[in-house]
Each structure stands twice: as C-alpha cells, then as structure tokens.
C-alpha cells in the first residue's frame, strides 16, 4: 500500500528534476557557442537578437513575485494589485528600456563598457565615484538574491512537506522537517544548477537559460489559471467565490489591509523606475546585437506582464473565498493548486514554473556581481593590461563562485527572517538612484559633485525610512505615501542643486557623451 502513495507523492519532485535537467542541458549546449573571450563571457559578444533579449530582460525583471507574489498580494490587497504593480511597470519599465537602455547600449557599444560603474566613472570623470556606487549596488542586489534562494527553498518545502495527516515525502530522510526537503538541500541544488551554467557560459548561457525559463513560467502560470478556473466551474463561477471587498480598491479590513490607499497607488509608480538602475539588467541590455533588438522588448514587455499578471491576480481573488484570511501570501498559489487541482503532475509543473521565475533572475544577478567585482574592482585597481583575457574570465568565474557561496550561506542563516519584505526596499533603493542615470544621459550640466550629492542624499533618506520601518516590511507615511517618493525626490533635488552650483564637466567629456548628431 505504501508504494503507490510514495510514487504519487514524489511525482512533483521528479518533474522539477526533469526541468532542472533540461535547463542544464540547454545551458551546456549554449556553452558550445561560447567564444572563449571575456567580452563573450560578460556581454555575449553583444550578439543577442530581439526574441532572446525580450525573454531574458522580461525573465530577469520578473522574480518570484511574478507568479507567487502577484497571487499572494492579490489575495491580501485585492484587485488593486494589478494597477499598483503590473500596469505601471508595463509603462515605466518600457520607458526605461527606451530612454535609458538604448542610450546606455549605444555608449556601451561605442566605448566598450560592460558595467554601469565604468560608464558613470567616465561620465562623471571620477574613479572615486565608482567606489561609492559599487558597495551600494552590491548591497541592494544581495537581498534580491536572498529572496530568490529562500523563496525557492520555501516553495519546495511547501510541495514536499506534510499535508494534514499525510506525512512529507521523505520522513525517513528528513525527520526534522517532517519529511519535507530541507532548505539547505534545495538552496544547494538551485545554487549549483545556476552556478554550473553561469560558470560555463557566462552571459550567453544566462540568455539561453532565461529564454527557456521565461517560456516555462509563462506557460505554467497559464496552465494553473486554466486548471483552477476549470475546477471552480469556469471564469464566471470562479469570480463569484471572491470576497466583494477584494473586487474594489477601497481600503477596508482590520488595519486597512485590503484595498489600496490612493497616495500609495500614486507613489508606487516610482518603484518600477528601479529597472533603470538594476546592474543585472544593464548587463542584459549590453548583450543586444543591435539597437533594433530593443524594439520587440519595449513593445512586448507590457503585454508579457499582462499575460503573466492578469491570471495570477484573478487566482488570488478566487482564493479569497477558498483559503482562510491569514494564509501567508507566498503560499496562496501553491495551496490553491494543491487543494483544487491536486494532480501531482500539475503541482510539479507549476512548481517548476515558480522555480523558473526565481532562477531567471538569480543567474543574471550572480553573473552581474561577478562582472562588477572583476571589472570595477580588480581590473580597475590592478590594470587590465596585467591580465590575459583567459585570466580575466577565470577571475570572473572565481568571483561568481564566491558570490554563490556567500548567498547560499546567508540564505541558510537568514532563512526564518521575512526577506520577502526586503524586495520593495531593494527596488526603492534602485529607484532612488534613477535621477543619477537620467541626469548622466540627458543633462550636460550634471556634474561629478552633483552625482556624489545625488547618491548620498538618496541613500541617506532611503536608509532613514528603512530604519524607521524596522529594517524591512511594508511602510508608508502620510496616509500611504511610499518612502521612495522622498528618497527619489532627494536624489533628484541634490543632483540639480549641486550640479548647478559646481564646476561643469570638461569639454572632452561633454563631447564624448553628448555627441553633436
């Protein structure tokens, strides 16, 4: 009697194993396309075409939040989740790709940049500015990485753990977790798989893997949507199960936890600006074969967001009538699939989709930190001419290994902390730095002193609110204003005021970045 039960319950894990195997195979295939140069390792020799650029950029910007977070937030706050996080992103992400991405790609191609800091150092005529920006970017990326690894571990615990009276999948192996695959093992597997292909093929492998992962998580989201709505009796019957309070944006519930305050809705629009300063996205932009490759990304990005988020928000709304109110947001999708669909094959496929969304961001972040350490610290300090191209690749690979190891250890140590709450703070931090990149690209009068002042002002205000929030968690002021409104404003004001008052950049720099076209 035990054998069929065991066989059925481990099916999701087998499917996840197949997904990881396919991912590795694809990434190892992309290894055969690796040209062995550092430019290929860092920016895929600037050879990625429109479709892969769209998939890798979209996959990178959509983290675990795309499937898990959207469903959970909709379950908690209701229908306003889409306008709050998705439709604004469709407009603003694409604006960043168009206004910032294409310009940075042009300078990257012209002057051979592979990191943001290289661009800023030249634009603001300051080596020191790189040393100010470098730790800030690294510290803002690390919580983002932890969200991925811890999110993956928690997802697998949810799938393999005990359900009611039924024990977890491996009670004889993992007694302490009630039979669930423990976080240390999931974290190790996820980190190792990502490490394997990033180590082998760098940026090109990441682009191939991201394309596969993005297709997987988009398809699995739609599959979950179809099967759940079918089990609920169709779309019309499904929405009838949602709580009426969740179908509007009006604030309600104890402590106003349902709905969206208008000021929050307005100021949340600044958060998607974060993509303008994500270092991992900058690296993806540089992989584009030509500026024309951006066209599909700019147009299709809002549509891809819609394809993923509308079904997930609807699932979250339907779940309000099925799950108890206190259910953690991160567990809503898995629980809804588990309770309504039950089929272990579907559970495995949807879990693979969630992992795909997580891993498509993780790989780019690992790679970008390795690239930044290599180029902005080692090569900057020691001189590029001291190393051969092969040695540069080796240094980058060693850094990637170190970062993966550090992330893995931190994910174990901080496993019980609510790191998901850090996501919005990480995004707010990057968004607060957007005045810097915008001024650097569009204002000849933006100066070195203005750049220093902008970063210091934005980060000081950000840090103040971060501390006020108790180092993470949802936090607003003045009836719903997001702290990013203040930190972004401080960064913009400091850039303008100090640049006006300080010495202008040299004519050589102006000619370099504002060519007479």
Partner 1 sequence: MSGKSIIIIMAVALGILHQDFWNWDNGTLVFGFMPMGLFYHACFSLAAAILWVFAIKCAWPTKLVEWAEQDEDNERIKGA
| Residues at the contact surface with partner 1, assessed by CB under 8 A | 79-80, 82-83, 86-88, 90-91, 94-95, 98, 102-103, 105-107, 109-110, 235-236, 238-239, 244, 247-250, 262, 265-266, 269, 290-292, 295, 298-300, 302-303, 305-306, 310, 313-314, 317, 515, 517
Q: How far is the CB of 226 from partner 1 (least distance, A)?
A: 13
Between residues 206 and 286, which has the closer beta carbon with respect to partner 1? 286
Between 470 and 515, name the residue whose CB sits nearer to partner 1.
515
Cα angle at 479 between 476 and 480, to 5 degrees? 45
Separation of first and last alpha carbons in the chain: 77
Nearer to partner 1 among residue 341 and residue 441 (C-beta): 441
> Do residues 149 and 414 touch, judged by C-beta distance below 8 A?
no
Smallest distance, Å, CB 236 to partner 1?
5
Phi/psi-derived region of residue 480, left when phi > 0, alpha when psi is between -120 and 50, beta in every other case: left
Smallest separation, CB 237 to partner 1 (Å): 9
We find the least distance from the C-beta atom of residue 274 to partner 1, in angstroms, to be: 17
Q: State the minimum distance, in angstroms, from the CB of residue 101 to partner 1.
A: 11
Structure-block tokens of residue 448: 């070195």
Which residue number, 113 or 415, has a Cβ lying nearer to partner 1? 113
Please answer whether residues 117 and 133 qualify as being in contact, where contact means their C-beta atoms are separated by less than 8 angstroms.
Answer: yes
Residue 91 or residue 345: which is nearer to partner 1 going by CB? 91
Within 10 Å of residue 396's Cβ, how many Cβ atoms? 27
Q: Which residues pair with 481 in a beta bridge?
A: 477
Helix (H, G, I), strand (E, B) or coil at 252: strand
**359, 193 Cβ separation under 8 angstroms:** yes
CB atoms within 10 A of CB 470: 9
CB closer to partner 1, 2 vs 244: 244
Nearer to partner 1, 39 or 88 (CB): 88
Beta carbon of residue 380, minimum distance to partner 1 (angstroms, whole number): 24
Closest contact distance (angstroms) between CB of 90 and partner 1 is 4
Residue 336, SS3 per DSSP:
helix
Q: Please report the sign of the dihedral spanned by the C-alpha atoms of residue 475, residue 429, residue 208, residue 199.
A: negative
Nearer to partner 1, 160 or 293 (CB): 293
DSSP alpha helix (H) spans, 383-482: 389-413, 422-432, 434-442, 448-468
Query: CB of residue 91 vs partner 1: minimum separation in angstroms?
Result: 4
CA 381 to chain centre: 30
Q: How far is the CB of 270 from partner 1 (least distance, A)?
A: 11
| Cβ density class 346-369: b for 16+ within 10 Å, e for less | bbbbbbbbbbbbbbbbbbbbbbbb
User: Up-side HSE of residue 362: CA atoms within 13 Å toward CB?
Assistant: 32
Quick one: 306 or 412, whose CB is closer to partner 1? 306
Positive or negative torsion for Cα 466, 467, 469, 470: positive
């Amino acid at each position: 009697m035990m054998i069929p039960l065991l066989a059925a319950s481990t099916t999701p894990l087998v499917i996840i194993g197949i997904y990881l195997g396919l991912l590795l195979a694809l990434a190892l295939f992309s290894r055969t396309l690796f040209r062995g140069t550092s430019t290929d390792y860092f920016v895929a020799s600037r050879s990625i075409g429109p479709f892969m650029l769209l998939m890798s950029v979209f996959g990178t910007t959509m983290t675990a939040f795309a499937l898990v977070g959207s469903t959970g937030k909709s379950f908690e706050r209701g229908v306003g989740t889409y306008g709050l996080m998705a439709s604004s992103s469709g407009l603003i992400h694409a604006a960043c790709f168009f206004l910032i991405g294409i310009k940075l790609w042009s300078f990257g191609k012209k002057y051979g940049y592979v990191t943001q800091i290289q661009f800023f150092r030249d634009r603001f005529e300051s080596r020191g500015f790189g040393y100010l920006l470098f730790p800030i970017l690294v510290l803002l990326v690390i919580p983002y990485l932890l969200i991925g690894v811890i999110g993956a571990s928690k997802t697998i615990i949810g799938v393999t753990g005990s359900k009611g009276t039924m024990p977890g999948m491996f009670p004889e192996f993992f007694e302490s977790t009630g039979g669930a695959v423990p976080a240390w093992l999931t974290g190790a597997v996820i980190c190792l798989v990502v490490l394997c292909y990033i180590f082998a093929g760098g940026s090109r492998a990441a682009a191939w893997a991201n394309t596969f992962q993005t297709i997987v998580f988009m398809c699995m989201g739609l599959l979950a949507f179809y099967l759940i709505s079918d089990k609920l009796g169709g779309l019309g019957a499904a929405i009838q199960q949602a709580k009426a309070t969740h179908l509007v944006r009006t604030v309600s519930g104890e402590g106003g936890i349902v709905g969206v305050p208008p000021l929050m809705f307005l100021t949340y629009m600044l958060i998607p600006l974060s993509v303008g300063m994500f270092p991992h996205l900058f690296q993806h932009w540089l992989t584009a074969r030509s500026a024309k490759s951006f066209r599909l990304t700019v147009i299709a990005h809002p549509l891809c967001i819609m394809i993923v988020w509308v079904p997930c928000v609807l699932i979250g709304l339907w779940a309000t009538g099925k799950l108890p109110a206190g259910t953690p947001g991160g567990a809503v999708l898995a629980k809804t699939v588990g309770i309504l669909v039950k089929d272990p094959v579907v559970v495995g496929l949807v879990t693979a989709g969630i992992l795909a969304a997580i891993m498509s961001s993780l790989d780019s972040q690992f790679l970008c930190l390795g690239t930044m350490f290599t180029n902005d610290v080692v090569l900057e300090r020691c001189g590029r001419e001291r190393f051969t191209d092969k040695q540069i690749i080796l240094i980058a690979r060693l850094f990637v290994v170190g970062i993966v190891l550090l992330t893995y250890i931190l994910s174990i140590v901080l496993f019980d902390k609510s790191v998901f709450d850090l996501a919005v703070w990480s995004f707010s931090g990057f968004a607060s730095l957007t005045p810097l990149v915008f001024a650097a690209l569009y204002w000849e009068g933006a100066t070195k002193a203005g750049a220093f002042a902008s970063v210091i002002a934005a980060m000081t205000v950000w840090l103040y609110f971060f501390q006020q929030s108790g180092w993470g968690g949802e936090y607003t002021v003045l009836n719903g204003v997001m702290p990013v409104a203040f930190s972004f404003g401080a960064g913009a004001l400091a850039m303008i005021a100090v640049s006006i008052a300080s010495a202008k950049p040299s004519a050589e720099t102006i000619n370099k970045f504002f060519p007479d076209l």
